[in-house]
Structure 1
């Protein structure tokens, strides 16, 4: 008992060796779904093919490991080989030859990822810093029944036939503006400072940002965290999916269904930011004959869902921050009727009520037109009345109070 008490005291001492222990924490992540329409690879495209995909780290560490996803596959994914390297440019397929390192899986060059599962590579020694780009190349045998993807990558990936895991450049590679089969990259950080996960829809996914520009609001937030000594070393993980809903499946699984895989299953998560709800409201606004009672019922279901997310996150020792739903009054796709706008305000009032979220990020007030608060400020509007521009993303990132991310709470092990 005396030894246990000493261990507890050491764990509580911020300057102790215990607190400085190295640990794995995610440095980059993407939420997975089944791609549809033009977002899919053509039939047979993955047969004996290599995918080279570039990701930007939001924090650094001494060693690296990669998480491969077959979350929506209906049969095992056969990975014949894999490698990681530093790209010459983040929008190209060339990598610096001396940086290219093969990845192993339990000491073997390949692995079989079961249907519905993710799989971690063995660690490799590759010191990386915050905002380094890494290129991951996967050589796969073929499509595992169904594709697992993140369509809204806003980044260029490359597809080539054969084994290109050791190639500095890819002969005959075809570009694709999506990620496939790659759900995360983790770093061994000393000490591990924790991770901020953002659960969201297209506004978080980056609709309105620049392809390969890394100027989503989560990218700007990551730069703020690294510039502040209080939060330096914390990572920011963008788990946004364009078209995502809280309550029903749309583009990708609903937010409640994907909470475990996209948030709770990740190591060293200290904070969760939730920015969802506009698609649930907008979907009802497109329903002919929607009544005031329908909107009131939706408000009740959405706030109950927020309560579920709060309970499940806090049970893991994760701080949870509620972001208010941004205005969409100028959108032609969604219809901000008086009932829809009243429902949005009711949800935001619920989010702002003390005692629910650990903190509130008022994205509504930050981006709304002061003269017409049911609409986005034109300075931040991407042009469709719903999504923000890079200037809007900067304003959103500025709204996050960094002091809320350094409150005393032990991250989930």
Structure 2
């Protein structure tokens, strides 16, 4: 299957500058293509991942991807989708983010082989251009009328846009020209909001290299959830690729909790499962939705891709333990992941009667209520019911010497940290 055919089946194409020409090009040769990300933070989130998954598909089809880190453009800020100016970061902050994103992207996309991904930083060529050369050699090729008509600019005219952000599309166009001339790059891919920047780059290439220059652009559709909300956002914020920001367990749970209406689309976009497997899972969504096999496959594929096999198995162990109540099977680190968002209390290691201990922590409001819950079997410690009102809680009950998990009723978990 041609890579364009595969992307069409996955419903992953929004716009193309020359669909017929790109299909012919990708059929006849291994194409160099690129996708970029600006270092506005020290980690990507899953929304950033979408075009890079498409880049990976090109790689698997035998093409040659280039990943661009915007060490230069990141100091400016892309105005797309924003109604106000970005706060500029210091050069030191940008460089720290460049290093963090480079390491993250290498871990995800760099593989051995002839079509190994190349990584570039646009600061390397942009910082050499002085302002006179920038205006004469590049600015002269851009029409203000055309730039104003771009969606990313026109949407900001009422609220205002600085010359700095206005000039962003020139810098990104310069990137495409540089990669076309020096890395044989003939295709840029990006999100749907990058269409204006991509077409500006193509215009610059043709003005500099001639109207017959073979260069193309392709964008990915804007992804919204079935309820109309933005993909990748939760009540707790973005889902990050950095395990220190979003734990592998939280990452796994995000995908495992995907709505039935979205799961097939996500399987097509984010996994490398073949058409037959995806269609089989899609059928199960319709016939056996209660088994959530599609969600499990999605969660497993994504967690393994981003965090590796070991972290996937850990996430699955935490999930199974929470479902079964077998808390003692978890390590202290796994408990810290699994109970991160649950009510948390801190106590010292002093031994104490269970009733007094529950009241001191705040899990029970009174001795009468504590006594009643224990007698009825409503209190569990580390997955085991506490039925004796004379039970004494000691430091020995803490898993890994750090945590005690209390469950009140069927679903009310609390994490108790021992100091």
Superposition TM-score, scaled by structure 1 size: 0.26
Structure number with higher relative contact order (C-alpha < 8 Å, ≥ 6 residues apart): 1
Which structure carries more helix by proportion? 2
Q: Which has the larger radius of gyration?
A: 2
Which structure carries more strand by proportion? 1
